[in-house]
Amino acid sequence: MFDHLSHWQWVALAWLELLVAYAGYTLYLSWRARRARAPEEKR
Amino acid sequence: MTQPPALRPRPLWLTVLRLVALVGFGVGAFLALVVSPPDVNQGQLIRIMYAHVSVAWISFVAVIVMSLWGMLFLWRSNPADDARASANAEAAAFFAVLTLIGGMTYSKPTLNTFWTWDAKLTLTALMFALLVGYFIVRGLIDDPVRRGRVSAVIGIVVAVSLPFNYLAAEWFRTLHPAKSINLDGSGVQMDPTMLTVLLANVVIAGVVYLYFVSERVRIGRLEQARAARREQDAGTAPQEVVRV
């Protein structure tokens, strides 16, 4: 499956991993913050 | 009227830090993908190294900071220290898993294997496993003081493994390349442009780490304030509100 990838495709994959992980963790933090604030906002 | 902490919006400096991290990521990628020359042996694959090494170093930094906050908690039992330690533990686990996945992505095209159980890779996997254990143990202990103490000890154990991990490529037979930057003063075996791009990416990963940890500590404070209010609503004795 990975044997035919070019060098540039491997490079793109590595940097995409980083981008997706950073974006994913940022979304997770936003979700945690929303969850933490939710009961307060209902009052 | 002053708002309670849980209702305060994100402070400006944290929004600015997020923006700097976002722009920094773009700059780091540009430096790695455009500015850096190809390597004489690895060709274009050297561009993966900037992503991999920067997050690996930051995972080490996060482990050291986590253990320092854990030691402070053992010393003075301030719940805020435990909150900071656990925020750093989460960041350490995040950057450790990025190191493992990025390492596999780098290893397959250069060494023709995703993984091998040699000392360097195994120690990094063990570090991640210990960090996962850190959070499993925290979930099992209700008493906040005992929880903080046990997780601080686990954090110190993870930190003790770092020198072995750092020197594993020198001490043991491994597929992992030896260090190009030696902290013992024996010098740097790297092209100056590549070194600049690498150090820039380490600093940028550091800014991202700083943003993640700061945001995570802020959220931890919101959660602690909510838990304290819930205790009050339930008519039990008010809990100590942790100042982070």
pLDDT, one tens digit per residue, over B79-114 is 889 989 999 999 999 999 999 999 999 999 998 889
Listing DSSP states for B166-217 in one string gives: HHHHHHS--SSPPPSEETTTTEE-S-HHHHHHHHHHHHHHHHHHHHHHHHHH
pLDDT at B242: 52
Annotated domain spans of chain B: 16-178+189-225
Per the domain annotation, does A36 fall within a domain?
yes
The number of CA neighbours under 13 Å toward the Cβ of B158 is 36
In which band, very low, low, confident or very high, does the pLDDT at B180 lie, cut at 50, 70 and 90? low
Can you give the pLDDT at residue B238? Answer: 47
CB B193 within 8 A of CB B35: yes
AA letter at B70: G
For residue B10, the model assigns a pLDDT of 80
Residue A27 resides in a domain? yes
pLDDT tens-digit readout, B133-177: 999 999 999 888 899 999 999 999 999 999 988 888 777 777 777
Q: Looking at the partner chain, which of B51, B212, B219 has a beta carbon nearest the beta carbon of A33?
A: B219
With a threshold of 0.90, tell me whether the complex ipTM lies above it. no
Nearest by CB to A29, from B105, B215, B223: name it. B215
Nearest to B56 by CA among B84, B13, B94: B94
Query: Least CB-CB distance to B109: which of A10, A21, A26?
Result: A10
Residue A43 lies in a domain: yes
* Residue A19 forms part of a structural domain: yes
Kindly determine whether residue B218 and residue A33, on different chains, have CB atoms separated by under 8 Å: yes
Partner-chain contact A21 B98, CB within 8 Å: yes
CB contact under 8 A, A14 and B44: no
Is the pLDDT at B27 greater than 80? The verdict is yes
Rounded CA-CA distance B244/B241 in Å is 9
- What confidence tier does B208 reach under pLDDT thresholds 50, 70, 90? very high
In a domain, A7, yes or no: no
pLDDT recorded at residue B1 = 46
Inform me whether the C-beta atom of residue B53 falls under 8 Å from chain A C-beta atoms.
Answer: no
Please tell me the total count of domains within chain A: 1
Spatial contact of B88 and B213, defined as CB atoms under 8 Å apart: yes
pLDDT in tens, chain A (43 residues): 778 899 999 999 999 999 999 999 999 999 998 888 875 554 4
Q: Does B216 touch chain A (CB under 8 A)?
A: yes
For residue B184, pLDDT beyond 70: no
**Is the model's pLDDT at B4 over the cut of 90?**
no
State the pLDDT at residue B230.
78
For B70-127, give the DSSP string. HHHHHHH--HHHHHHHHHHHHHHHHHHHHHHHHHHHHHHHHHS-S----HHHHHHHHH
Question: Is residue B13 exposed (0-12), middle (13-18) or buried (19+ Cβ within 10 Å)?
Answer: exposed
Residue range(s) defining the domain that contains residue A27: 15-43
Contacts of B124 (CB under 8 A, 6+ apart): B56, B96, B99, B100, B103, B165
pLDDT at B34: 97
By percentage, how much of chain B surpasses pLDDT 90? Answer: 63
What pLDDT score was predicted for residue B3?
56
Note whether B23 contacts A: Cβ–Cβ < 8 A: no
For B226, the closest chain A residue by CA position comes to A36
Tell me the chain A residues in contact with residue B45 when contact means C-beta distances shorter than 8 Å.
Answer: 7, 10-11
Contact status, residue B74 vs residue B17, Cβ threshold 8 Å? no
pLDDT tens per residue, range B35-80: 999 998 899 999 999 999 999 999 999 999 999 999 999 999 988 8
**Is B106 near chain A, with CB under 8 Å?**
yes
For residue B43, give the 3-state DSSP assignment: strand
Q: Please give the biggest Cα pair distance in chain A.
A: 58
